[in-house]
Structure 1
Amino acid sequence: MDWLQILVLAVVQGITEFLPVSSSAHLILVPVLTGWDDQGLVFDVALHFGSLAAVVLYFRHELIAMSRSWLISLTRRQLDQDARLAWAVLFATIPVGLAGLTFNNIIESALRSPLYLAAGLIVFGLVLGWADWRRKSGRTEYQLGWKDVLLIGLAQALALFPGTSRSGITITAGLLLGLGREAASRFSFLLSIPVIFIATGQQTKELLESDVPIMFTALASGTVLSGISAYLCIHYFLAFIKRIGMQPFVIYRLLLGALLIYFFGINPSESI
């Protein structure tokens, strides 16, 4: 793996992990457009760890406040807004965890076609555009009710379908429930922390059980580059989302879906 490959894959992963555009679609297209070999499980772990470090670092003050209030809520049974948000993140993670345990093998074997990936990009992209167009109000993530949390958690489970985009579907659900663009995005980013942590832990377990050689320089470089690009992505996305809206990402998803169909065709039996 050369330095250009490390740079491109790390930046692509770091940016697309948090934008509502499906990181899996981009990581599939990169080797098609460049002719590179698959980067392998070891490098995937490094990239995800970089993304996780970025979101934790960006929301460090909120996470400290949430953790402190959450611990207090366990002993004193008092729920302030930070404790409620912490519980909301935990509860909203349960559906995707259960769905992953139940359906992941089925999805991996039956829905690995580029057609399904393109369909996910296009269909859920249109839903995102509609949700942004008809958004009702501007509630914050601290004003979520438990019904809202359940619905966003169930929506997050849909991200197991190829092309959906975890951030895309949770932002969509937040907008439909009356959150403002920034609030829906912030809650989506907070939700990514336990999901990426679980995914990285599972990948690490698989890695430890294998005999794959480890290139420490490439891993360190990928982690740092992925982390930097992810941090900048979160910062600028939140800074500009109120003004630019979701429509540019909807258009991008439609074009990306069309590009996948162009490169791979429309045979649903063909695996990625």
Structure 2
Amino acid sequence: MDIAHAILLGIIQGLAEFLPISSSAHLVLLEHYLGVQEAGLTFDILLHVGTLVALIAYFWQDWQGMAAALWRPGRHNRFERRLFWYLVIATLPGAAAGYFLEKQAETIFRTPTRIAVLLAVLGILLYLADRVARHQRRLPGITLKDAVLVGCAQALAIMPGVSRSGSTMTMGLFLGLTRETAARFSFLMSAPIIFGAGVHQGLKLLKSGANNFLTLPYVLGFLAAIVSSYLTIRYLLRFLQRHTFIIFVLYRLLLAFVVLGLEYYQVGPK
């Protein structure tokens, strides 16, 4: 893999992982239509570790607060302690889906037509949640019910085209969270699922004996994933303080339309 290819994939991972547009869909479509090959297990793990580093760095105070609440519980940090356990609970459905549906996620879920349909369907749901829900509740108002439902929504992201951030933010909006709160909770709950996936894939990597993760392209791709992830988190949270999700809805629908058009002209009637 050359340097430009590695950096491109790192940037795509950082952008699409946190924007509600589906990172896995973009990687599959780039490979299918443009021949941009995925770089394999080692590089995939590095990119996800890069996004995890960005999450830890940006939300460092939140993680510190939750750690302190667990280490020295008290009345003043009940919210942080409760938030930690809600994040754990919200991770369980996604972890179960990843464990039981891993093979399907790598095969039948990755066809362009299915991806296009899911892009459109989740785009419409995001639009409805953004338009009709009451965006009033903030992070301290998150409940156990919210954590369970948003966690179930995260499990749907096993299918490329759904988008982990898109499904969790949509559910958060339907539950009445503000746009920024829905995004913040989505980002926080992505850390354990990314960490778990990294450990799972890392064990596979150890068994394979691969040791090519210190090459220059891999290192630069890793750094690109960190920088693009951090900037995406930062600016999306600011963007959602004053704007709606409509730009992402339109992007999903446009991409779905393009993919369906490409598929029609490739495999449809001439």
Structure 1 residues without counterparts, runs of 5 or longer:
none
Label 1:70 to 1:262 Cα distance change in 2 as closer, same or farther (>3 A).
farther
Q: Distance in 1 between matches of 2:265 and 2:101?
A: 24
Does 1:234 find its partner at 2:233? Answer: yes
Q: CA deviation at 1:32?
A: 4.4
Higher mean C-alpha deviation, range 216-225 or range 190-199: 216-225
- TM-score, normalization by structure 1: 0.91
Partner deviation per Cα, 1:176-210 (whole Å, 9 max, x = no partner): 11100000000000010001101111121121222
Q: CA deviation at 1:257?
A: 1.5
Q: CA deviation at 1:259?
A: 2.4
Higher mean C-alpha deviation, range 138-147 or range 165-174: 138-147
Higher mean C-alpha deviation, range 170-179 or range 155-164: 155-164
**Map 1:43-54 → 2, pairs under 5 A:** 43-54=43-54
Counterpart in 2 of 1:28? 28
Does 1:62 find its partner at 2:57? Answer: no
**Map 1:1-272 → 2, pairs under 5 A:** 1-32=1-32, 34-73=34-73, 80-212=78-210, 214-216=212-214, 217-265=216-264
In the alignment, is the contact (CA less than 8 A) between 2:135 and 2:179 conserved in 1?
A: no
Q: CA deviation at 1:242?
A: 2.3
Label 1:32 to 1:104 Cα distance change in 2 as closer, same or farther (>3 A).
closer
Structure 2 residues without counterparts, runs of 5 or longer:
none
Q: Distance in 1 between matches of 2:262 and 2:28?
A: 11
Q: Distance in 1 between matches of 2:37 and 2:168?
A: 32
Q: CA deviation at 1:255?
A: 1.2
- Alignment length, in residue pairs? 266
Label 1:47 to 1:265 Cα distance change in 2 as closer, same or farther (>3 A).
farther
| Aligned partner letter, 1:17 | E
Q: CA deviation at 1:260?
A: 2.3
Q: CA deviation at 1:105?
A: 2.7
Moved over 6 A (4+): 76-79
- TM-score, normalization by structure 2: 0.91
